[in-house]
Amino acid sequence: MSVSTINLLADGGMSHSLFTCADDKCIQGRCVVVNGVSVCECKLGYMGDTCNETINEALSLPLTLGTLAFLIAFIILIFLLAFIRQKAKRRKRATNEALGRNGAHI
C-alpha cells in the first residue's frame, strides 16, 4: 500500500510529497500516515515501530524455565515414590521370610 499527497503551489504548479507505507514495514499490523509520518498500527499483542515485538515476550523465558522446573520436579517425585514403594516391598518381603524361618505362617 502506498499513500501519497499532492500539494498545490501558489503558482499553480504541483509538488508531490510522498509518504509511503510499505506493506513489509509493519510485520504484525498495518501502516497508516499520521500528520505526514508513516506509523504502524499493531495488531493486538504486538508493539514496536514495526510491530515485531510481542507484548509478553518478556515472559517467555521465565515461563519456559518455570515449566521446565515443574517437569523436573514431577519426574523426581515419581522416582522418589517408586523408590519408597520398592523399599517398602523389600521390607515386607524380608519380614515374611523372617517369619517363615521362625515357623510362623501368614
Q: Is the pLDDT of residue 91 over 90?
A: yes
∠ CA 81-87-93 to the nearest 5 degrees? 135
Query: Residue 103: left (phi > 0), alpha (psi -120 to 50), or beta?
Result: left
Short-list 37, 38, 57, CA closest to 47: 57
Quote the pTM value. 0.42
pLDDT of residue 76: 98
Residue 29 φ/ψ, nearest 5 degrees: 180, -165
Short-list 28, 33, 41, 42, CA closest to 3: 33
The CATH class of 3-54 is mainly beta
Q: Where are the domains of the chain?
A: 3-54, 59-106
Q: Is the pLDDT of residue 41 over 60?
A: yes
Q: 7-38 pLDDT, tens per residue?
A: 444 545 444 445 567 666 888 899 888 888 88
